[in-house]
Amino acid sequence: MKNMVFPGDMVSNAPIRNAYVYVEDGKSYAMTIGTYDAASGQFVPLEGNWTPRIEDTVIGIISSERNNVYEVDLNFHGRALIIGGKFEKFSFKVGDVVEATIKDIEDRRTIILVYPRLLSGGLILLVKPSKIPRVIGKDNTMVKQIADSTKSTIAVGRNGMVWLNGGDAGLAAAAIQRIENEAHVPGLTERIKNMVEKTEKR
């Protein structure tokens, strides 16, 4: 059963990993309004901006390059950089879409990215970052179900950018947008399953 929680409400007696909760004395408290499912241990915020965290996977667009240092647009109020070196050269160009991992955060506004991977073609969806955990699902189950049923390749960034390519990308995009709109509504998993499985039955 899902319960509505408000900022400051305790959502769990144990620490949980979620960008929208804080841990105090071993207990987890909501930072924003959302719903908490005690059975699955999942907190789904209804609002909230993305708070970068080390090891977050993100998706962005190369916005500038100079001396093998690339600035990446993450749809974020700060800036993000991919820094090449003597032994690590990159060949991205402005406009390229990349997936990368956050290595460091300097002064809360400058993000250092590592392990960049070019995502060729496809399309980008902007999703509220607070709904990204629901798009991913527990143990990646939701995004895997959409990808398998639509035969699309999907990469999800914690910053709210989602990249889709191939297969029935239109249906995959529609499913993700439905998740964003109905993340707080019970029975969402079954509705998305029924929606995307129509492709397999054609």
For the chain, which residues make up each domain, given as ranges?
2-45, 57-119, 123-200
| From the candidate CATH numbers 3.40.50.620, 3.40.50.300, 1.10.2020.10, 2.40.50.100, the one assigned to the domain spanning 2-45 | 2.40.50.100
Higher pLDDT, 1 or 144: 144
The predicted pLDDT at position 37 comes to 79
| From the candidate CATH numbers 3.30.1370.10, 3.40.190.10, 3.40.630.30, 2.90.10.10, the one assigned to the domain spanning 123-200 | 3.30.1370.10
Lowest-confidence region among 31-45, 67-81, 94-108, 152-166: 31-45
Where do we find the tokens 């039955």?
Answer: 201
Of the pLDDT bands very low, low, confident and very high (cuts 50, 70, 90), residue 197 is confident
In this predicted model, what pLDDT tens digit does every residue of 43-87 receive, in sequence order?
Answer: 777 666 788 899 999 999 999 999 899 999 998 888 999 998 777
Share above pLDDT 70 across residues of the chain, in percent, rounded to a whole number: 94
Q: CA 122, CA 102: separation in Å to the nearest integer?
A: 23
Give CA separation, 138 vs 103, 143, 146, in Å: 24, 9, 14
Decide if 192 contacts 142 (C-beta within 8 A). yes
pTM recorded for the entire structure: 0.75
Q: What is the mean pLDDT of the chain?
A: 87
Mean per-residue pLDDT, 183-193? 82
The predicted pLDDT at position 119 comes to 96
Report the length, in residues, of the chain: 202
Please provide the CATH number assigned to the domain covering 57-119: 2.40.50.140
Of the pLDDT bands very low, low, confident and very high (cuts 50, 70, 90), residue 143 is very high
Is pLDDT at 169 greater than 60 in this prediction? yes
SS3 (DSSP) at 1: coil
Q: Do domains 2-45 and 57-119 have the same CATH topology?
A: yes
Mean per-residue pLDDT, 138-155? 93
